[in-house]
Amino acid sequence: MKALIIYWSGTGNTEKVAETIRRVLEKKGIKITVKKIEEAKGEELYDYDLVFLGSPSHMWLPAQPVIEFVKEKMREYGKRGFIKPCSPKIHGKNAVVFCTYSGPHTGIDEAIPAVKFMRQFFEHLGFNVKAEWYVVGEFHGNELYSTKGKLGDIRGRPNSQDLAKIENDTARLLSRLTRGPF
């Protein structure tokens, strides 16, 4: 199996999740490429069996570089005829989308549109979206939102417990996929 992780991270939270996923994949002996989104423009997503895309929530949506990446790839794959009516699923092409968020006002609802946006991208490409991962992250530089928001005191998150859950979810996903057929 060939896997790719693409992410954008402004203050390091999403990067911690991406690195955790990378560690598990490496431990399982899977060939893994990790790219910050700025370096991922030339990636052929269909070359991979499993693609991860991660972003923080910025005003309920993915961060701007992630939105731009998705738009650019949609244009490219549209021109190449990959975006088909009814988005038929392609056997063996799998994706996972993940988002870190602080939820200061309405909690997880602030991450859901960001995750669904990324999910739609893969579904339009015909990928099978196997999971959506939501991870709480400290709002760096904003103490009020990191201590008095809807999710309470979120300083230091994602913490070791949050990352252990990602580790576990990644391992479970891999055993589901490799038990195959995927």
**Chain residues in the site for ligand FMN (CB under 6 A):** 9-15, 56-60, 100-103, 110-111, 137, 139
* Nearest to ligand FMN of 104, 126 (CB atom): 104
CA distance 121 to 80: 15
* Nearest to ligand FMN of 25, 115 (CB atom): 115
Residue 133 Cβ vs ligand FMN, minimum distance, rounded to whole Å: 12
Residue 35 Cβ vs ligand FMN, minimum distance, rounded to whole Å: 15
* Nearest to ligand FMN of 58, 116 (CB atom): 58
* Nearest to ligand FMN of 60, 182 (CB atom): 60
Q: What tokens were used for 144?
A: 């009020």
Residue 66 Cβ vs ligand FMN, minimum distance, rounded to whole Å: 11
CA dihedral in degrees (36, 158, 98, 167; nearest 10)? 100
CA distance 149 to 126: 37
* Nearest to ligand FMN of 12, 92 (CB atom): 12
Give Cα 51 to chain centroid, integer Å. Answer: 9
- Phi and psi (nearest 5°) for 113? -60, -35
Residue 99 Cβ vs ligand FMN, minimum distance, rounded to whole Å: 8
Residue 165 Cβ vs ligand FMN, minimum distance, rounded to whole Å: 15
